[in-house]
């Protein structure tokens, strides 16, 4: 058993996307190997309607899956296949773009003007980049929550955790996507399969993620892990990228801590990425944009 050391602790960066949406990007559009099979994580929590209502009008995707998790407000969406709907608070939409969709995503705030949520992009392996597009929509009550003896809670969106299986399946990257809450001042160890890349994204409270590899040391006076590995606090909008190991460990601060814990099997394939389209080669990327120009991007089902 080993605790995963922290490889990187960074803050999400203010980014302008879509038709002028102010969001924070935790990662994306850089070196993709550390996060493989994930490509991007956007935190679109915002309390100023003028900063998000312009939304993400019609745009294409190919070669990826997008996972939208809404915490407040709704995201209204529509696509080239005629699907229409709204993702509400607590809901998840898992979209497999495959060979191509054109869609729009329009955030609408709740009565308080709040629009909170996250969008994660997962890469598709070469064998599935041109698969048929599909959606999985999961309403809040269908997402199981497991509660441990010490009050730690995990909503299991995808994958299996503490014996509960999330409702989203058939995803190429075989991800585990959890929404974890650890109560104030509790220290918690959470298993993450060794072969996976893993990251945490903090969105409430604060805490310290353990940085020690090897067996867990007993927290005695002057000899606790906090003393042997002093760490920066991970608070709101902190992204923690983990190195390899069997578990992650977190010491919650006095307000507790809530974070997404996401892991997936690396695809280890070449990445050719421009905007909303992610392929393996430059040729495939060029072909996609030529098809968009010619109007042949969307393939019959
Ligand atoms: Mn999109």
For the whole model, what pTM was predicted? 0.92
CATH number at residue 56: 2.60.120.10
- DSSP states of 36-56: TTEEEEEE--BS-GGGTTT-E
Ligand 1 centroid distance, CA of 163 (Å): 32
Ligand 1 centroid distance, CA of 95 (Å): 9
**pLDDT (0 to 100) of residue 169:** 80
Ligand 1 centroid distance, CA of 224 (Å): 45
How many distinct structural domains can be found in the chain? 1
Ligand 1 centroid distance, CA of 191 (Å): 31
Ligand 1 centroid distance, CA of 267 (Å): 22
Q: What is the pLDDT of residues 226-251, one digit of tens each?
A: 434 446 789 999 999 999 999 999 99
Would you say residue 279 lies in a domain?
no
Ligand 1 centroid distance, CA of 76 (Å): 12
Would you say residue 282 lies in a domain?
no
Would you say residue 143 lies in a domain?
yes
For residue 177, what are the domain limits?
6-264
| Bridge partner residues of 64 (DSSP) | 123
Would you say residue 65 lies in a domain?
yes
Ligand 1 centroid distance, CA of 1 (Å): 39
CA-to-CA distance for 73 and 111, rounded, in angstroms?
8
Q: Cα-flanking dihedrals φ and ψ of residue 213, to 5°? A: -95, 170
Ligand 1 centroid distance, CA of 142 (Å): 24
CA-to-CA distance for 272 and 280, rounded, in angstroms?
5
Q: Which two tokens stand for residue 138?
A: 């999961």
Please choose, from the candidates 76, 93, 94, the residue with its C-alpha nearest in 3D space to the C-alpha of residue 85: 76
Burial profile 177-186: b = 16 or more Cβ within 10 angstroms, e = fewer:
bbbbbbbeeb
Q: Residue 225 — very low, low, confident or very high, per pLDDT cuts 50/70/90? A: very low
Ligand 1 centroid distance, CA of 139 (Å): 20
**pLDDT (0 to 100) of residue 231:** 62
**pLDDT (0 to 100) of residue 2:** 87
In eight-state DSSP terms, residue 281 is: S
**Range 39-64 average pLDDT:** 97
What is the residue-averaged pLDDT of the chain? 91
Question: Is cis: bond before 41, omega within 30 of 0?
Answer: no
Q: Which two tokens stand for residue 63?
A: 């070669």
Half-sphere exposure (CA, 13 Å, Cβ side) for 37? 23
Would you say residue 101 lies in a domain?
yes
**pLDDT (0 to 100) of residue 47:** 96
Ligand 1 centroid distance, CA of 141 (Å): 25
Q: What is the pLDDT of residues 94-134, one digit of tens each?
A: 999 999 999 999 999 999 999 999 999 999 999 999 999 99
* 150 compared with 173, residue with greater pLDDT: 150
Ligand 1 centroid distance, CA of 103 (Å): 6
Would you say residue 288 lies in a domain?
no
Would you say residue 135 lies in a domain?
yes
Ligand 1 centroid distance, CA of 17 (Å): 11
Ligand 1 centroid distance, CA of 60 (Å): 7
CA-to-CA distance for 82 and 110, rounded, in angstroms?
25
**pLDDT (0 to 100) of residue 232:** 76
Would you say residue 287 lies in a domain?
no
**pLDDT (0 to 100) of residue 174:** 83
């Amino acid at each position: 058993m080993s605790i995963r050391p922290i490889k990187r602790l960074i803050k999400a960066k203010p980014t302008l996307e879509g038709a002028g949406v102010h969001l924070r990007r935790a990662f994306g559009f850089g070196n993709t190997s550390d996060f493989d099979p994930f490509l991007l994580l956007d935190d679109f929590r915002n309390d100023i309607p003028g900063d998000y209502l312009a939304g993400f009008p019609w745009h294409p995707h190919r070669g990826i899956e997008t996972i939208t998790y809404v915490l407040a407000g709704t995201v209204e969406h529509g696509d080239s296949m005629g699907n229409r709907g709204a993702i509400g608070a607590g809901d998840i939409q898992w979209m497999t773009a495959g060979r191509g969709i054109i869609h729009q995503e329009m955030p609408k705030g709740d009565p308080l003007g709040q629009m909170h949520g996250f969008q994660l992009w997962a890469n598709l392996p070469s064998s599935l980049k041109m698969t048929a597009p599909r959606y999985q929509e999961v309403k809040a009550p269908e997402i199981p929550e497991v509660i441990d003896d010490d009050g730690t809670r995990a909503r299991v969106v995808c994958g299996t955790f503490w014996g509960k299986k999330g409702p989203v399946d058939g995803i190429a990257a075989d991800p585990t996507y959890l929404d974890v809450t650890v109560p104030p001042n509790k220290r918690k160890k959470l298993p993450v399969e060794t072969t996976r890349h893993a990251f945490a994204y903090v969105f409430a409270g604060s805490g310290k993620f353990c940085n020690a590899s090897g067996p867990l040391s007993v927290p005695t006076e002057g000899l606790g892990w906090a003393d042997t590995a002093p760490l920066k606090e991970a608070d709101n909008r902190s992204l923690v990228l983990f190195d390899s190991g069997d578990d992650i460990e977190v010491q919650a601060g006095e307000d507790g801590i809530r974070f997404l814990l996401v892991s997936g099997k690396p695809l280890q394939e070449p990445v050719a990425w421009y905007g909303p389209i992610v392929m393996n080669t430059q040729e495939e990327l060029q072909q996609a944009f030529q098809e968009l120009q010619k109007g042949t991007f969307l393939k019959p089902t």
